[in-house]
Amino acid sequence: MIVLIIGGTSGIGHALLEHIHNQYPTANIHATYHQNIPTLHADQRIHWHQVDATSESDIKGLSKKFDQADWVINCVGMLHQHHQGPEKSLSDFEPDFFARSLAINALPTMLLAKHFTPLLKKSANPRLVTLSAKVGSISDNHLGGWYSYRASKAALNMLIKTIAIEWQRSVKQGCVLALHPGTTDTPLSKPFQKNVPPDKLFTPTHVAQQLLRIIEGSLPIHSGTFYSYSGEKISW
Ligand SMILES: NC(=O)c1ccc[n+]([C@@H]2O[C@H](COP(=O)([O-])OP(=O)(O)OC[C@H]3O[C@@H](n4cnc5c(N)ncnc54)[C@H](OP(=O)(O)O)[C@@H]3O)[C@@H](O)[C@H]2O)c1
């Protein structure tokens, strides 16, 4: 089995990588990093690639290193950067932060779908999985705020749904999923953990186990679904 984890240095991506490495002794695992040097060393079964997931030439270049792929799992994401956090109100909105959020949270999945579908198509049971966020659900938005993150994850969700429709015709044996990991203790959620009850702040290892169970159990009939870490469906 050939697995590609985009964002293997993310809190959740790293835990998924370790988990797949342990659970699938014959899996050949490729993972990407962007700015942070991976702490899990390459071995005969782990191969690292430096990739800017917002760059089409980088994603295209990465795809050229493969003959086939079975699972592509995108764990790249951004909620805050430098000293800029998600918007509390309209007055906090900044066009550059909005554009960056779209570029990091939505664009990579589209580039991966474009360049990896021909490789995934060769697999008997291919999966294209992206970590989204429940706050990207339009129907579930009761609190407001976080304009850029919400909108970029809503855009990502629409891309996932639309790719799944195309795959129904072109990759019939495949499954495309959006997954919500829940609030997980990683750098992404660090500044926002204060009011999270301890039993709702998950470790990356726990989340990786939950997500892997969903990925393993997914079939073509589940394609185009947005699942929570618990396995429940989330409405778009
Ligand atoms: N943590 C949570 O509570 C939570 C909740 C809901 C949804 N999610 C979603 O789950 C996913 C993973 O989140 P996380 O908490 O594990 O994040 P994280 O630990 O903050 O890691 C972010 C990852 O994104 C990568 N990245 C950022 N910009 C990139 C670029 N231009 N090209 C390539 N890689 C880039 C980083 O790579 P480098 O470090 O190598 O630069 C890193 O691997 C995200 O999509 C997030 O929105 C997380």
pLDDT in tens, 57-114: 999 999 999 999 999 999 999 999 988 999 999 999 999 999 999 999 999 999 999 9
Say what the pLDDT of residue 44 is: 86
pLDDT band at 33 (very low <50, low <70, confident <90, very high): very high
Say what the pLDDT of residue 201 is: 97
Q: Is the pLDDT of residue 145 over 90?
A: yes
Say what the pLDDT of residue 162 is: 98
Q: Of the residues 50, 152, 156, 188, which should be mutated to test ligand 1's pocket, given the most ligand atoms within 8 Å of the CB?
A: 188
Say what the pLDDT of residue 183 is: 97
- Could you tell me the sign of the dihedral formed by the alpha carbons of 185, 191, 193, 194, in that order? positive
Closest ligand 1 atom to residue 184 Cα is 3
* pLDDT, tens digit (0-9, with 9 covering 90-100), for 180-220: 999 999 999 999 999 999 999 999 999 999 999 999 999 99
Residue 136 Cβ contacting ligand 1 at under 6 Å: no
On whether residue 213 sits in a domain, the answer given is yes
Residues 166-190 have a mean pLDDT of 98
Number of domains in the chain: 1
For residue 202, what are the CA distances in angstroms to 38, 40, 209? 22, 21, 11
pLDDT band at 41 (very low <50, low <70, confident <90, very high): confident
CATH number reported for the structural domain that contains residue 202 in this entry: 3.40.50.720
On whether residue 88 sits in a domain, the answer given is yes
Q: Is the pLDDT of residue 156 over 90?
A: yes
80, 25 Cβ separation under 8 angstroms: no
Q: Is the pLDDT of residue 42 over 80?
A: no
CA angle at residue 51 from 151 to 21, to 5 degrees?
95
Residues 12-32 have a mean pLDDT of 97
Q: Is the pLDDT of residue 39 over 90?
A: no
Token pair for 213: 């169970």
- Domain range for 106 is 2-228
On whether residue 235 sits in a domain, the answer given is no
On whether residue 233 sits in a domain, the answer given is no
Say what the pLDDT of residue 133 is: 98
Residue 86 Cβ contacting ligand 1 at under 6 Å: no
On whether residue 236 sits in a domain, the answer given is no
On whether residue 51 sits in a domain, the answer given is yes
Cα end-to-end span (Å), the chain: 31
On whether residue 113 sits in a domain, the answer given is yes
Residue 13 Cβ contacting ligand 1 at under 6 Å: yes
Beta strands in the chain (DSSP E): 2-6, 28-33, 46-50, 71-74, 127-131, 175-180, 225-228
Say what the pLDDT of residue 43 is: 83
On whether residue 52 sits in a domain, the answer given is yes
Residue 101 Cβ contacting ligand 1 at under 6 Å: no
Say what the pLDDT of residue 148 is: 98
User: Cα 99 to the chain's mean position, in Å?
Assistant: 18
Residues 31-43 have a mean pLDDT of 90
